[in-house]
Amino acid sequence: MTMNFKSYITRDSAICGGEPTVTGTRVTVRTILASLAEGMTDEEILAELPTLDRHALRAVIAFAAVSAEEDLPTPAMPSLA
């Protein structure tokens, strides 16, 4: 079951050039994912970006997972013939 991230993620061409951000902030999804990729813990990210909460972090990860799934090609089904 995928988290419903839609209330947490916003795309607005007037905010951060239309990059996905956490709703109500100028914190981009990319910033949070890069922080996680660099090894920062949730606690470190939340301390550095106090406008966020744990639900927002989980929403960013869910958004990234769905986005990646949409971008990855579906492998062809093997033929049984």
pLDDT digits (tens, 9 = 90+) for 7-28: 899 999 999 999 999 999 999 9
Tens digit of each residue's pLDDT (9 = 90 or more) over 25-58: 999 999 999 999 999 999 999 999 999 999 999 9
Question: Which is more confident, 53 or 74?
Answer: 53
Of residues 78, 71, 58, the one with CA closest to residue 5 = 58
Domains along the chain with CATH numbers: 9-70 (1.10.10.10)
pTM of the model as a whole: 0.79
**Quick one: which of 47, 44, 53 has its CA closest to 25?**
53
pLDDT band at 80 (very low <50, low <70, confident <90, very high): low
Judged on CB neighbours under 10 Å (0-12, 13-18, 19+), 11 is exposed
